Amino acid sequence: MVLPKVVGFKLTGALPDHATATDLVLVCTKMLRKHGVVGKFVEFYGDGCKTLSLTDRATIANMSPEYGATMGYFPVDSETLRYLQVVGKDKETTDKIEHYLAATKQIRTYAADEVDPEYSEYMELDLSSVKPCLAGPKRPHDHVDLENMQKDFTDCLKAKVGFKGFGIAEDKLGSTTKFTQDG
């Protein structure tokens, strides 16, 4: 069996209050597409993981088709075990799972002395650098930071007709037109 390459994507810091998991996944997708992860596994690791909810992690992992990886995943940690309890697993079962994972050193604690796994390739992102942004679901790598939306919109109006281009002449940008709808 040919084992795939595993890209270790280290997350540090924490998302700013005004940034969402969607903003994060768009940044990750752009980075991963640029790096080239087709046919590879991507494991997100690092102490930044502990700041993300399980739903935030699922949002990132579920975008693997968009960033081209065979799969994206997070290591098991206390948040994962908490989720098992939330969905109704009894304490005995979750204790067994936790004990097994701890004994086989497969559970992450994010302790300072914890050794990171070895990966085929490495990437890193400081979560505090993520900014609110917009992008379409078909082209998540074309995201635009909110602070640049006005400039991007104006540039698109003037760009030649095509993707993100409407071919409007500079002297026509301020034009207005009246119309009525439904009376």
The domains located in the chain, with CATH, are: 6-135 (3.40.1060.10), 143-174 (no CATH)
Q: Which pLDDT score is estimated for 93?
A: 94
The answer to whether 68 touches 37, Cβ cutoff 8 Å, is yes
Q: Which pLDDT score is estimated for 141?
A: 62
Q: Which pLDDT score is estimated for 156?
A: 87
- pLDDT tens per residue across span 39-57: 999 999 999 999 999 999 9
Q: How far apart are CA 86 and CA 79, in angstroms?
A: 10
Q: Which pLDDT score is estimated for 136?
A: 61
Q: Specify the DSSP class assigned to residue 117.
A: P
Q: How far apart are CA 25 and CA 84, in angstroms?
A: 24
Strand extents, DSSP E, 29-105: 41-45, 71-73
Task: Identify the segments of the chain with pLDDT beneath 70.
Answer: 136-141
Q: Which pLDDT score is estimated for 51?
A: 94
Q: Which pLDDT score is estimated for 146?
A: 87
Q: Which pLDDT score is estimated for 154?
A: 87
Q: Which pLDDT score is estimated for 137?
A: 54
